[in-house]
Amino acid sequence: MSIQQIGSPGAIRLRFGPFELNVAERSLKKADQVIPLGGRAYDILIALLEKPGEVVAKAELIAKAWPDVTVEEGSLRVHLSALRKALGDGQFGDKYFANIQGRGYSFIAPITRLPADRDRGGASEGLSNLPPALGRMVGRDDVVRKIQVRLQTERLITILGAGGIGKTTVALAVGHSVLARFSGAASFVDLSIVSDKEQVIGAIASAIGLGPQLVDPKEALLEFLRPRRGLIILDSCEHLIEKTAEIADYIFQNTTDVYIIATSREALHVPGENVLRLCPLDCPPEQQPGQTASEVLAHPAARLFAERVSARRGDFSLGDDEAPMVAEICRKLDGIALAIELAAGRAAIFGVGNTVERLGSRLDLLKFGRRTANPRHQTLIATLDWSHDHLSEIERVLLRRVAIFVGHFTLEAALAVAEEVGIDRSEIAGALVNLVNKSLIEVWTSSRGPRYRLLDTTRAYALEKLATSGEQDSIAERHASFSIQMLEGNPVNLFDLESTEAAANAVRDHLGNIRAALEWSFGPNGNDLKAIRLAAAASQLLLAMWLLLECRTWMEKAIDRMTPDCDPRHQMKIQAALALSLMYTEGNSERVREAFHAALNFGQRHEDTRLHLSLLSGMSMYLHGIVDAAGTYELALRSEAVARKTGSPDDAAIADSMLGAAYCLRSDQLRAQEHLKRSLHGLPQLRRFNASQYLFDFRSSSLSVLTHSLFFSGHLDQAVDCAKMNIEEAARSGHPIGLFRSLTHPMRLYFWIDDLEQVELNLSKLEHTAESYSLAPARAVALGLRGRYLVRVGRMADGIQLLQESLEKLAIHRHEVLTSDYISELTVSLAKQNARAEALTLIDRSIAAVIKAKKPLHLPAFFLAKGSAFASGDGPESLLAEEFFAKAMMQARQESELPFELRAGLELAHIWIGRDEVQRAHDLISPVYSRFSEGLTTPDLILARRILEQTSVRARQTGRRVAKSSGRAKA
């Protein structure tokens, strides 16, 4: 296969093992996750794929990867090693490369071409969050090229310079220019909107595509970045310099292929940092006689000024008469881009002559100060002071009041903080337009209308004016009230994206302001009642955006401020949000139960059936996690009563979902399937508002439990179909908990039918989901599943270690859904390693615990595992194994777990056949096998059919021998 064939439209995508390669895009994926490869490693992989199964000489590989450079063979070995590591070559029996001693290397895995019509977007699609370049850049091309070159050898570059000098503009230009070099993996982190140093990691994680971190976010960030190649731009570091320096150094020291560009007014001062000081734009020299416009415009500072005036006025053309004045303006502004742009905005209104006259008098006063202070900083302040002095009173008021907003804001928001007696809406709207025209506020049009934002330096300046005005607390209170009204003014189905996507995005975009409002409300000058109301209003947003740790923090603060006279509805929302956020940060702790009970108690004072049903469903999810069948059933009955009261089809479907789960735990699979199927019929499509309100969606939940129920009742084909549907729907929804459940619940089925390909595929997705959102219970579950997988592929010792670690973590999180599988697998594995005493101690302790807790659902698996433990190892104890296989069959029959009944029967039949009790084995297996109507090609049913056939033949042969013996005796 030649490279031309690979790259042709009909074969642009290739598959080998679990990997998918898009040659044109130079992207490699596994389970939809991009596998980062260096450019050299990628070239080597392509060269080997050109000749699959053939030996490619080392010299040829070097020529492909280093066409214009002479390198040693050691470099080839290094990149091949990285390639092997990225693909997991040699792990789990997967082998992709062969080293032909003295000749070269060969790609030995099967390759499948994928048709072109399955191609998707480019490799970089969705990976870069770089904002558009900030307009046409003037006078910075050389700097951008210099940084491009330095990025080839330097991994941490700080662009240093005064405020407004153009650091962000240069950083973005560099980012866009090297995007292809990093395969589109370039991320922009705007630290100017981060007010708390503890939020720096979260801002970086969000920018690179890592979900909110609940447990040790710093380590999670590193684990996410370590195997990847990419560029991170940390913009506006100065106000959080110590924390930013710490995190930048942490990333730099612990990764090998992550590059960082920082913009700051001061250096990070960390090892490995390379500082590039961004100089002011080159200005025309001191006025010389006869200086023409063309001579002045040869300097970037003057060219920037002229372009910005022209952009404002449209008819501006610099003439020779004004050229000396423009040169003077640029010099007096020290070539600082922001200051020049502000002056250009003024010149567009008042003219160049008027501007240089007014500007000159103010800057002359600051010349002496340059000796003892940062001159460019002083110059920028002077420019801002000058601009502020020329504002009308209403413009000054509006500028300092809208500075309270973090990030962008709308006209409605500006009115909320600025409008008062004596200042009407039209005056505010007019002042806003004027501030935009004077370059003090930026504006851009989105699908939701005009959006406004103060530049970082302008906002800092305006906030100082707000502080000195004496109205900071009153404006902060208005800001908090606006945040409350905005949150409360949107209905519960805010996140039903089919109908209110614009509203949902608006609230998400306001997150920075909600955080700021919460900080002020809970601060020393805040108001407790307003703080509690705001926390209640913000709880749904925080949950829906998976900011669980942050949600938990604010809800705990609100509970500390609560008094008996607080609105019961607010208290109920806060307690419910605390319970839900705790469930995924601590697991199923007693604090979760207490918070749910508190919320339900408050709920009795407020007639809101929808919220009541939400609380019942959340509590049910908690009880299901600890396998509390009685408690889950009681809550399901209560939810059914609430649904009858509302008469809502949605509520009825939710109640059916809860009843189905309850009956599944009670081993009544017929009723479970009846309710679950009715629930799915009532919720034919995933509803996002359910996911945000309840923190999980009921369609996914119903499909997950139905998979279990169908498996227990022996409907194996239906269970496989149900699992597939659930995984596909959950993947489309993008809902982490739905995806976690959909990937977790079918695992018992896949292991049972020995479909290790599905196990590996879904396990990779589960591990990625758990890592991205730092879902603590999900991580522990994934750890145990990985342990089971390793045991199945022959890596017994590694699998045992992971199973033990998983069980320890799951015990802490009180997550019991799959613990019986892990305990059973670990018991049998230990026994096979001749550690029977340890295995029996584990399984006996587990059996005693579930009997005491009245959780018989686990007993068939435990009795089966104990029987297998006695049957394994160097000295099998057949009689004891027989006893517990028989117990497992009996218990499985009582709990309606048909697959467990069959497997225990197969083990028992194996013992009896070994004792030549053939008919007895046949009579044991036959009635169990006959109860299966599907899944006949799965391993246990194939084995059962084979045993029945063999025992039938042996029984007939034995019968004939007996008949012959009897005939001879008679003769």
Taking the alpha carbons of 84, 87, 93, 96 in that order, is the dihedral positive or negative?
A: negative
Q: How confident is the model at residue 621 (pLDDT cuts 50, 70, 90)?
A: confident
pLDDT of the residue at 483: 92
More confident residue, 425 or 548: 425
More confident residue, 157 or 102: 157
pLDDT of the residue at 696: 59
pLDDT above 90: residue 926? yes
More confident residue, 308 or 377: 308
Q: How confident is the model at residue 687 (pLDDT cuts 50, 70, 90)?
A: very low
Cα gap 601→160, rounded to integer Å: 57
pLDDT above 80: residue 457? no
Which residues, in sequence order, are bridge partners of residue 275? Answer: 158
Which residues, in sequence order, are bridge partners of residue 234? Answer: 189, 262
Q: Which residue has the tokens 């280093």?
A: 66
Region 293-308: mean pLDDT is 87
Region 830-836: mean pLDDT is 94
Return the structure tokens found at 415.
């009115």
Compute the mean pLDDT over every residue in the chain, rounded to the nearest whole number: 83
The CA distances from residue 950 to 670, 905, 947, in Å, are: 34, 16, 5
Which residues, in sequence order, are bridge partners of residue 119? Answer: none
Are 306 and 294 within 8 A, CB to CB? no
Are 148 and 180 within 8 A, CB to CB? no
Cα gap 912→890, rounded to integer Å: 17
Q: Name the DSSP letter for residue 239.
A: G
More confident residue, 197 or 402: 402
* DSSP of 686-754: --HHHHHHHSS-HHHHHHHHHHHHHHHTT-HHHHHHHHHHHHHHHHHHT-HHHHHHHHHTTHHHHHHTT
By CB atoms closer than 10 A (0-12, 13-18, 19+), residue 634 is middle
Cα gap 100→102, rounded to integer Å: 6
Q: How confident is the model at residue 531 (pLDDT cuts 50, 70, 90)?
A: very high
SS3 133: coil
pLDDT above 80: residue 512? yes
What phi and psi values does residue 423 have, to the nearest 5 degrees?
-130, 110
**Residue closest to 410 by CA, chosen among 466, 483, 475:** 483
More confident residue, 613 or 448: 613
Region 573-602: mean pLDDT is 86
Cα gap 451→443, rounded to integer Å: 6
- The mean-pLDDT minimum among 100-114, 747-761, 941-955 falls in 100-114
640-651 pLDDT, tens digit per residue, is 998 898 888 888
Are 456 and 236 within 8 A, CB to CB? yes
Q: Name the DSSP letter for residue 279.
A: P
For 85-98, give the secondary structure using H, E and C. HHHCCCHHHCCCEE
Above pLDDT 70, what percent of the chain?
A: 85
HSE-up (13 A, CA, CB side) for residue 556: 10
User: CB 118: neighbour CB atoms within 10 A?
Assistant: 9
Cα gap 613→623, rounded to integer Å: 15
Q: How confident is the model at residue 791 (pLDDT cuts 50, 70, 90)?
A: very high
Taking the alpha carbons of 598, 600, 606, 612 in that order, is the dihedral positive or negative?
A: positive
The CA distances from residue 107 to 11, 52, 92, 156, 270, in Å, are: 18, 5, 17, 36, 43
pLDDT of the residue at 829: 96
* DSSP of 324-389: HHHHHHHHHTTT-HHHHHHHHHHHHHH-HHHHHHHHHHHHHTTTGGGGTS-HHHHHHHHHHHHHHH
192-236 pLDDT, tens digit per residue, is 777 777 788 888 888 887 765 555 678 888 888 988 899 999 998
pLDDT of the residue at 495: 37
Cα gap 529→521, rounded to integer Å: 9
135-185 pLDDT, tens digit per residue, is 567 888 889 999 999 999 999 999 987 667 888 889 998 998 888 888 888
252-280 pLDDT, tens digit per residue, is 999 999 999 999 878 899 999 999 988 88
Return the structure tokens found at 949.
């056939």
* Strand 19-22 relative to strand 13-16, pairing: antiparallel
* Strand 258-264 relative to strand 230-235, pairing: parallel
Cα gap 714→465, rounded to integer Å: 73
**Residue closest to 418 by CA, chosen among 489, 484, 474:** 474
pLDDT of the residue at 378: 41
**Residue closest to 228 by CA, chosen among 206, 251, 200:** 251
* DSSP of 767-791: HHHHHHHT-HHHHHHHHHHHHHHHH
Helix axes 241-254, 200-208, angle to 10 degrees: 50
Q: Name the DSSP letter for residue 490.
A: S
Region 5-34: mean pLDDT is 67
User: CB 441: neighbour CB atoms within 10 A?
Assistant: 24
Query: Cα 749 to the chain's mean position, in Å?
Result: 27
pLDDT above 50: residue 116? no
Cα gap 97→77, rounded to integer Å: 12
Are 628 and 601 within 8 A, CB to CB? no
pLDDT of the residue at 420: 87
Q: What is the largest CA-CA distance in the chain?
A: 143
Residue 340 identity (one-letter amino acid): I
pLDDT above 60: residue 826? yes
pLDDT of the residue at 86: 83
Q: Which residue has the tokens 């607010």?
A: 570
Q: Which residue has the tokens 């070159």?
A: 149
- The mean-pLDDT minimum among 375-379, 590-594, 887-891 falls in 375-379
Is this prediction's pTM over 0.85?
A: no
Return the structure tokens found at 947.
């045993």
CA dihedral 195, 198, 201, 206 (to 10 degrees): -50
User: CB 20: neighbour CB atoms within 10 A?
Assistant: 19
pLDDT of the residue at 544: 77
Taking the alpha carbons of 123, 125, 128, 130 in that order, is the dihedral positive or negative?
A: positive
Q: In the chain, count of helices (H) and strands (E)?
A: 45, 15
| Highest mean pLDDT out of 339-348, 377-386, 909-918 | 909-918
pLDDT above 90: residue 755? yes
Region 516-530: mean pLDDT is 92
Are 843 and 869 within 8 A, CB to CB? yes
pLDDT of the residue at 901: 97
Which residues, in sequence order, are bridge partners of residue 156? Answer: 260
